[in-house]
Amino acid sequence: MEEPTTLTQRVATLADRRRIGVIPVRGVIGGALRTDLLLKTIGAARRNRNIRAVVLEIDSPGGAAIASEALYVAVRKLAAAKPVVAWIRGVGASGAYFLACGATRIIAFPGAVVGSIGVISVRPVAAGLLQRIGARVVVTKTGRFKDLGAPWREPEPDDLAKEDQLVQAVFRRFTGAVALARGFDGPALERVTTGEVWLGADAVDLGLVDGTADDEDAALGAAQDLASLPHRKVQRMQPRRSLLQRAGLPLSGMGPPGERWLVELEGWLQTPAVRL
């Protein structure tokens, strides 16, 4: 778009309250990325009449399955009201790619990590350790699978079958969203749902993303075009951050060490990383 040249045009641009909302999606879903706060932010962007398009700035390896699907549903609702560009600037893997499938358009930095379309269930088994230290666990339960996934006993064949059933059910929901968003048929869907990751440039050829963007300005340009806006005014939308978060201190804003810290660490360890 051309910059306004006359005084009248400049005044009109200053008075124009239409904006492109930028929402960061950073960290492991369920870890550093607080799902409840992000859902509120997405909802606020949908209700705000001045926000005419939204850019989701994604750098996340995914995370909790239910939370990822909840974010996907919220992004779809947002995209039904106004254009949404999912820009994968670093990592857009697993649950992060799931939520990106709700957007109007998906673009990625050429060297971004994209994909990891799959579901994994991991749990420790400490039965041998408990036996070695002379400890045991007494369990009273009401159903055969009430302690499914418990670390104090070895899984039995029925347990493994039930866990696989749950994993496959979540996988079908994930791949259904991918097929709907990207227009994949059976063979094309099978090609990209192996759990692999690709660079953004290769993901274009696979149909996982619509194009590449070298920087935020290019992502904003895509949102501007989709919304037919004459200018590129930005409103950054995110939960209020603490002083430590604004200073960029690692793990700030995550509260005292606990389950969220373990989820965050586990999420990033499951994503391939390339170092220079």
* 8 A C-beta contact, residue 28 and residue 268: yes
The pLDDT, as a whole number, for residue 50 is 95
CATH 3.90.226.10 in the chain, residue ranges: 15-117+195-269
**CB burial class (10 A; 0-12, 13-18, 19+) of residue 273?**
exposed
5-9, 75-79, 140-144 — most confident range: 75-79
pLDDT of amino acid 250? 53
**What is the spatial distance between Cα 78 and Cα 66, in angstroms, rounded to a whole number?**
19
> Is residue 127 pLDDT above 70, yes or no?
yes
Neighbours of 99 (CB within 10 A): 29
Helix (H/G/I), strand (E/B), else coil: 71: helix
Q: Which amino acid is at 216?
A: E
Give yes or no for residue 219 having a pLDDT over 50: yes
Helix (H, G, I), strand (E, B) or coil at 84: strand
Nearest alpha carbon to residue 42 among 103, 107, 98, 109: 103
Task: Report pTM.
Answer: 0.83
Rounded to 5 degrees, φ, ψ at 264 are -60, -50
Average pLDDT on 165-185 reads: 93
127-130: Cβ within 8 A, 24+ apart:
127/151, 127/152, 127/153, 127/154
Please state which CATH class domain 15-117+195-269 belongs to. alpha beta
Tokens of 155: 């899984």
Residue that wins the pLDDT comparison between 124 and 224: 224
Instruction: Give the CA dihedral 59, 118, 115, 182, nearest 10 degrees.
Output: -110
CB atoms within 10 A of CB 54: 31
The DSSP letter of residue 75 is H
Residue 258, SS3? coil
113-115/197-199 β-pairing: antiparallel
